[in-house]
Amino acid sequence: MSARQSESGQPIEPVYGPGALDGWDHAERLGEPGAFPYTRGVYPTMYTGRPWTMRQYAGFGTASESNARYKQLIENGTMGLSVAFDLPTQMGHDSDAPLASGEVGKVGVAIDSIDDMRVLFGGIPLEKVSTSMTINAPAALLLLLYQLVAEEQGADPQKLTGTIQNDVLKEYIARGTYIFPPQPSLRLIADIFKYCRAEIPKWNTISISGYHMAEAGATPAQEIAFTLADGIEYVRTAVAAGMDVDDFAPRLSFFFVSRTTILEEVAKFRAARRIWAKVMREEFGAENPKSLMLRFHTQTAGVQLTAQQPEVNLARVTVQALGAVLGGTQSLHTNSYDEALALPTDKSARLALRTQQVLAYETDVTATVDPFAGSYVVESLTDQVEAKALELMEQVEERGGAVHAIEQGYQKNEIERSAYAIAQEQDSGERVVVGVNRYQLAEEDPYEPLTVDPAIEQQQVERLARLRAERDQGAVDTALAALRKAAEGEEENVLYPMKEALRARATVGEVCNTLREVWGAYVPTDAF
């Protein structure tokens, strides 16, 4: 009987027994739940006390449409909001910019100014909800807009909880929504760390993301290796900026995918926790136990959803969600079954949430901590994924660290090779995709997709025109000049003048353009 290979190219033996773990030190490599090296989870009780945070990702069209979806999700039992922004917002352009044409409100909600942010969270008490925002290059702007709206509601910033993704390095590797070159981008991230420690101490300042690398084709080992390498770069940047590691590391968080290959996904999450705990203690000398904990959000694998027989995605998402839960995630988003076709409908978004609720309340996976601990196959896979990830991380270090490796195209090239291998396996039928290369239907069932009204773009353009006509332009110009001065120097934290500019109703595009004029815009090298 031949051994099957894992996604990272490691053998999965048909049978495991004690011999598979010869020389394995249980106390050192497994430990107890909530204790170093956190292989078994970052908290002693995990889900036996309370389930993971059920955080559904949503956002489309106008701020008012997205606000209605958020209220529906809250009513249906979601425990945290997760905001999707449209591409112009992600790239720091206003809805009336030429580059925004045709993209306004399409893959997320359009946010041009504090006016839109007020509508987005109208009627939602921000002091009482946890909000995650998937925003990277302009993360500081959206965080400040959120804080400003919360303060207008009367909320205490010291009590605000949530996360900004704020992971620019993975944009250069796998996703592409970058604005500034790496060095000023890292400076901005360090300023965010400092600002949040002083002003919004409960906020997770970064969600270091492997999800998008996985969606681009990374193996599980590549996903955690390149993500943790980026995390190391962020920690080094903050330390070089004068911060003590234990002052900011407890607010770092991570974001991973969960695929249908349950066993290796569980092993991946366990290996990632173990590696990070050791890096933080041994390289950076972190002493606060919270600095050693790899806390992470998981999203089920959008890249594995199919447009063919989309109802089969219900099974895929359930399996993927189960892998995330068995792996010890802190929060989870389950994709809707129709996302390979269009934006999720209200019904499909509710069903995605119900999938999590069934796992939490109708199964026994929350009855015990780390159900797979001691499993011969999972412990062996954990060791294998850890070893492969450490090997890849060493390759990054040999190239001078994450930024220099990115500039050489190393991570991107490795991921593209893996993606090509997967495509070849699917084309040949070696990798089965139900409904696509096996068990096809001659004719698909009809489907009525949710669509975004193209008139939204003109509506946003008109809102911007009104905003510019109504606001105090002198106050905006003064605030943007102060932001420019801070960006030109190296000592001042740019978030403070940025907040004042946004308060004066400067737009996202105007703020980002001010920084572009000082820092420049990133252009990929030929290595890419």
Contacts of 64 by beta carbon, 8 Å cutoff, 6+ apart: 119
CA 501 to CA 495: how far, in whole Å?
A: 10
pLDDT tens, position by position, 349-392: 999 999 999 999 999 999 999 999 889 899 999 999 999 999 99
With tokens 């770069």, the residue in question is: 233
Going by pLDDT thresholds of 50, 70 and 90, the confidence category of residue 4 is confident
**Predicted local distance difference test score (pLDDT) of residue 524:** 81
pLDDT tens, position by position, 424-456: 999 999 999 999 999 999 888 888 877 778 899
Q: Are 322 and 280 in contact (CB under 8 A)?
A: no
Residue 300: pLDDT over 90: yes
Q: Are 140 and 188 in contact (CB under 8 A)?
A: yes
DSSP string, 99-147: GGTTTTTSSSB---SHHHHHHHTTT--TTTSEEEEE--TTHHHHHHHHH
**Predicted local distance difference test score (pLDDT) of residue 353:** 94
The mean per-residue pLDDT over the stretch 184-204 comes to 96
Going by pLDDT thresholds of 50, 70 and 90, the confidence category of residue 9 is confident
pLDDT tens, position by position, 56-83: 888 888 999 999 999 998 998 887 888 9
Tell me which amino acid residue 325 is: V
CA 238 to CA 233: how far, in whole Å?
A: 9
Residue 19: pLDDT over 70: no
Any bridge partners for residue 203, and if so which? Answer: 162
**Predicted local distance difference test score (pLDDT) of residue 21:** 58
Percentage of the chain with pLDDT > 90? 84
Q: Are 416 and 217 in contact (CB under 8 A)?
A: yes
CA dihedral 177, 173, 432, 254 (to 10 degrees): -80
Residue 28: pLDDT over 80: no
In 3-state terms the chain splits into helix, strand, coil percentages (rounded to 5) of 50, 10, 40
Query: CA nearest 410: which of 189, 188, 169?
Result: 169
**Predicted local distance difference test score (pLDDT) of residue 528:** 39
In the CATH hierarchy, which top-level class contains the domain 38-428?
alpha beta
**Predicted local distance difference test score (pLDDT) of residue 32:** 87
Q: Are 165 and 191 in contact (CB under 8 A)?
A: no
Tell the burial category of 363 from Cβ atoms under 10 Å away from its Cβ (0-12, 13-18, 19+): exposed
CA 333 to CA 82: how far, in whole Å?
A: 9
Residue 305: what are its φ and ψ, rounded to 5°?
A: -75, 150
Going by pLDDT thresholds of 50, 70 and 90, the confidence category of residue 22 is low
CA dihedral 493, 494, 495, 499 (to 10 degrees): 130
Residue 438: what are its φ and ψ, rounded to 5°?
A: -155, 145
pLDDT tens, position by position, 167-185: 999 999 998 999 999 999 9
The mean per-residue pLDDT over the stretch 143-170 comes to 97
**Predicted local distance difference test score (pLDDT) of residue 527:** 42
**Predicted local distance difference test score (pLDDT) of residue 374:** 87
Residue 80 or 420, more confident: 420
Residue 150: pLDDT over 80: yes
pLDDT tens, position by position, 215-251: 999 999 999 999 999 999 999 999 999 999 999 999 9
- ω into residue 37 within 30 of 0, thus cis? yes
Q: Give the sign of the dihedral formed by CA 14, CA 15, CA 18, CA 19.
A: negative
**Predicted local distance difference test score (pLDDT) of residue 24:** 54
Reported as type and span, the H/E element at residue 247 is: helix 245-248
Average pLDDT, the chain: 93
The predicted model scores a pTM of 0.90
CA 449 to CA 346: how far, in whole Å?
A: 11
Residue 3: pLDDT over 70: no
Query: CA nearest 253: which of 238, 234, 268, 239?
Result: 234
Reported as type and span, the H/E element at residue 299 is: strand 296-300
**Predicted local distance difference test score (pLDDT) of residue 15:** 62
Query: CA nearest 347: which of 454, 259, 449, 452?
Result: 449
